Chain A
Amino acid sequence: MLDHIREVLFTESEIEEKVKLLGAAISQDYREKELLLVNVLKGGVIFLADLIRQITIPVVIDFMAISSYGPSTEEFGIVRLVKDLEESVSGKDVLVVEDIIDTGLTLTYLLRNLESRDPGSLRVCTLMDKSVRRIVDIPIYYKGFDVPDVFVVGYGLDYEQKYRNLPFIGVLKKEIYYPEE
């Protein structure tokens, strides 16, 4: 698996440091509030697991999953919630935790969905921001790393469901996804 990685973009220790900083900022900003962390499966799950252990205030976590556009999408399909929250968000301070934001399309859908449930507040925390690929702009309140225009895997991020278990974030070799070039 390691030989599929062109270079390590963020090491384990760099990620750890960044997650500590994010956890401290969130703990400070949400002290004396009822914080609900909403995680988007599957990519963000490892980031969430580390982040909550750096947050020093009580938090509730919940998960959402939505269908992704892809080869199996019907020609004129529309996004649907594959897994909905179990917690009510009404009146709560909600922080959406994402692994990476690129086009902003998925998050736009999720934020609209959550806004319709009348949360007390709604913010976004992402470990990585690949703004060069943004189609629709999204306000990001907490951001770990800016990511250049490369295909990253590891620390929860996948290519064809693989590489999520890498402890670092690496750049996937092009020949893995474009083998014929």
Chain B
Amino acid sequence: MVDSSEKENSADSNSSVIERINFAHPSEKQCAQILDFYGIKWEYEPKSFPVEWDKRGSVLQSFTPDFYLPEFNLFIELTTMSQKLVTKKNRKIRRLRELYPDINIKIFYQRDFRYLLLKFGLHKMQHN
């Protein structure tokens, strides 16, 4: 886990933190850059939540949200796969909310990320 608060709020230190992280998807890196731009502290995949166990109590499946924003006590999960393919993930998130009702989590689907790109004028770059 990497914590964006490890750095001072400057472009140079932002880059060093972001470059150290092996983001699972380019959209996650872009999200981290947007949060950094607006001075929002974030942590990348800081915590996994078990959502399924076997009979002996060993964890079979966990859910690891992409970001945690400590100032807002908010987890963010980015899922840029097409809407048709998110059913499995939605099931996992429903289970997460059942097991951990106090967790504040927002899911960003592909359409939400597209809106962010549109809002910031990056949508044409994405298409190119």
Within 8 A of A (CB), among B1-25: 9-12, 14-15, 18
Q: Is the CB of B120 within 8 A of A69?
A: yes
Q: Is the CB of B38 within 8 A of A69?
A: yes
Q: Is the CB of A69 within 8 A of B15?
A: no
CB neighbours (8 Å) of B34 from chain A are: 69, 105
CB neighbours (8 Å) of A178 from chain B are: 123, 127
- Cα(A71)–Cα(B121), bound, Å: 6
CB neighbours (8 Å) of A112 from chain B are: 39
A175 in the interface, Cβ–Cβ < 8 Å? Answer: no
Question: How many cross-chain pairs have Cβ atoms below 8 Å apart between A and B?
Answer: 69
Q: Is the CB of B120 within 8 A of A70?
A: yes
Among A69, A74, A105, find the residue whose CB has the most chain B CB atoms closer than 10 A: A69
Q: Count chain A residues whose beta carbon lies closer than 8 angstroms to a beta carbon of B.
A: 28
Interface flags for B80-96 (1: CB within 8 Å of A; 0: not) read 00000000000000000
A133 in the interface, Cβ–Cβ < 8 Å? Answer: yes
A108 in the interface, Cβ–Cβ < 8 Å? Answer: yes
- Cα(A74)–Cα(B12), bound, Å: 11
Interface of A: prevailing SS: loop
Q: Is the CB of B115 within 8 A of A78?
A: no
Whose C-beta in chain B lies nearest to the C-beta of A180?
B127
Which of B12, B15, B36, B120 has a CB less than 8 Å from the CB of A68? B120
B110 in the interface, Cβ–Cβ < 8 Å? Answer: no
Whose C-beta in chain B lies nearest to the C-beta of A134?
B106
A29 in the interface, Cβ–Cβ < 8 Å? Answer: no
Q: Is the CB of B122 within 8 A of A108?
A: no
Known contacts A74-B11, A79-B39, A133-B119; 12 additional CB pairs below 8 A are A73-B37, A75-B33, A76-B33, A77-B37, A108-B39, A108-B40, A109-B39, A136-B69, A136-B72, A149-B115, A177-B118, A177-B123
Q: Could you list 10 examples of A-B contacts with CB < 8 Å?
A: A69-B37, A70-B122, A75-B33, A76-B36, A78-B11, A78-B39, A102-B119, A103-B119, A135-B106, A178-B127
B interface list, Cβ under 8 A from A: 9-12, 14-15, 18, 33-40, 69, 72, 74, 76, 106, 112, 115-116, 118-125, 127
Q: Which 5 pairs, one residue from A and one from B, show the smallest C-beta to C-beta distance?
A: A76-B15, A105-B38, A76-B14, A70-B121, A76-B11
